Amino acid sequence: MGRYGLNKTHKGDTHATAQNTQGFDVVDNVMSKPVKTSSPLQTHVNHKNAYRRQSLGTPNSDDSDDNSDADDTLAKSVPAILPSYCRGDFNYSAHSDRVNQTSHVSSSKQNRQQSYSFERERSIYHDRSFDSQSSQKSNSFQDKSKSQEATQKVSIFLLPLVGFLIYTVLAYCKEANMLNIFQGGSSIVYDELKFHTDINNLRRKYKVTDDTILQLQTGISTIYRRQDTGSFIFIYNSNSKNFDPAELNRFMHDVSTTSAHYLRNDSTSVQHITVQGTNLNMNTHNELIKKYRDDVDKSGVMLITEIDKVPSSLAMAFHYYCDEYNPLVKKSAIFFTLNLAQCSDIPSDQTSIHALIEKCLENKWYSGVPKVNMAPLLTRVVNIVIDVTSIEPRET
């Protein structure tokens, strides 16, 4: 067998050629040239002693050096990336390293691809989760809005109905006299229905006109609702044929007591204050204010008889007691009585009862009240005028 491209020659031919060409190498000049380290050809070729590696034949000892050199040359001429079959050793470790390196690179690429796929899936899942949460929040907000709208609609429908039912029940309780709630164990609530009932009873009892009762009832109810104050001046004429001073006093007492009960929501312990105009002897109007202010706050009503007899130096006290916009005592009523017989010197050209009363009081107080304060004072005192001249004796 030819080695590395050498032609096969027979032994006889070689011997004949050697005789004819003695002194020349049997190898072709091309083949006899020194080979490069990368060539698998041997530098010295001995066809006579050539033998097949891994054969059963044993090489001669004389040829061991040449064969060893040839083996080394062949081993060295093998490329670095190929295993050396001439030396009979295969570098499994290098091959394994390259395989492992290739596997590692492939595994790294696969891991990167898997990681990228995982990150992409997680991003998609996160986006879907965010969209789902946003959708859920939007749906929840819409549901809440719808629920609130439904609740508002129901409230708008039910509130008037509930209010009407409560009003009906309270009205029934009042008419049945079932709203007697005790306060502190010694007082009983005195409500508006009871007040109206008692005022109407006074109309029948004293035979006063309906207009008189309506003025009184409306005025006191307004004070209670507004939490302010108001003045009422009851006029009479002592020169009248049917005038009865005792009957007037009883009527004023009952009216004042009934009003005090209502303004203080108490029908047992509250009693109004009565002040005689002729008995006021203070030096200044401030003293009059301080003396009765606390009593008016407790009772709610102060009755001042014969207002035309009040000294002019004290008249300015009523400017503060009767101030509706800045009341001295809230939820209070100031009652005055005036005898028109004391105003006979007033000219008859006064067409209004209010103007007549204001002129009469101005003549009484001009000396003690500053001129700039007279008009505001009279406006507050002469507020609601009630004529009680026609009061008749009580029925027996």
Assess if residue 215 is contained within a domain: yes
Note the pLDDT of residue 209: 86
What tokens does 358 get? Answer: 């204001």
Domain total of the chain: 3
Q: How many CB atoms lie within 10 A of CB 97?
A: 12
Say if 346 falls within a structural domain: yes
Q: Which of 33-42, 134-143, 237-246, 367-376 is the least confident region?
A: 33-42
- What pLDDT does 167 receive? 76
Same structural domain, 106 and 213: no
89: three-class secondary structure by DSSP: strand
Residues 207 and 264 in one domain: yes
Is 305 part of a structural domain of the chain? yes
Q: How far is 15 from 28, CA to CA, in rounded Å?
A: 16
Residues 282 and 356 in one domain: yes
Position 21 in a domain: yes
Query: Which residues form the domain of 35?
Result: 11-77
* Domain assignment present for 82: no
Together in a domain, 231 and 338: yes
Residue-wise pLDDT for 252-303, tens only, equals 999 999 999 999 987 777 889 999 999 999 999 999 999 999 999 999 999 9
Contact 262, 190 (CB under 8 A): yes
Amino acid at 34: P
Residue 111 pLDDT grade (very low, low, confident, very high; cuts 50, 70, 90): low
Highest mean pLDDT (candidates 3-17, 150-164, 318-332)? 318-332
DSSP H/E element including 158: helix 92-175
Residue 12 binned pLDDT confidence (cut-offs 50, 70, 90): very low
State whether 141 and 273 are in the same domain: no
pLDDT digits (tens, 9 = 90+) for 216-255: 999 999 999 999 999 999 999 998 888 888 899 999 999 9
**Mean pLDDT, residues 336-343:** 93
Sheet holding 301-305, edge to edge: 273-276, 301-305, 332-339, 229-236, 384-387
Question: Are residues 362 and 271 both part of a single domain?
Answer: yes
pLDDT (0 to 100) of residue 102: 54
Whether residues 111 and 241 fall in one domain: no
Please choose, from the candidates 233, 230, 234, the residue with its C-alpha nearest in 3D space to the C-alpha of residue 328.
230
User: What is the pLDDT at residue 17?
Assistant: 44
Q: Is the pLDDT of residue 108 over 50?
A: yes
Q: In the prediction, which pLDDT does 110 show?
A: 61
- Tell me the range of 4-8, 33-37, 152-156 where mean pLDDT is highest: 152-156
Residue 263 and residue 364 in one domain = yes
**Pair (56, 199) in one structural domain:** no
Residue 128: CA count within 13 A, CB half-sphere: 6
CATH code at 213?
Answer: 3.40.50.12190
> Same domain, yes or no, for 228 and 362?
yes
pLDDT value of position 114: 62
Residue 6 lies in a domain: no
Give this prediction's pTM: 0.54
Domain-located, residue 120:
yes
The answer on pLDDT for 328 being more than 70 is yes
Q: Are residues 174 and 211 in the same domain?
A: no
- The percentage of the chain sitting over the pLDDT mark of 70, rounded to a whole number, equals 56
Of the residues 179, 205, 235, the one at which a domain ends: 179
Q: Are residues 201 and 60 in the same domain?
A: no
- 185: in domain: no
CA distance 46 to 308: 168
Tell me the C-alpha distance between 196 and 171, whole Å: 13
As a whole-number percent, the residues of the chain with pLDDT over 90 amount to 37
pLDDT at position 130: 54
Picking from 129, 153, 179, the residue at the C-terminal end of a domain is: 179
At which of 149, 179, 209 does a domain end?
179
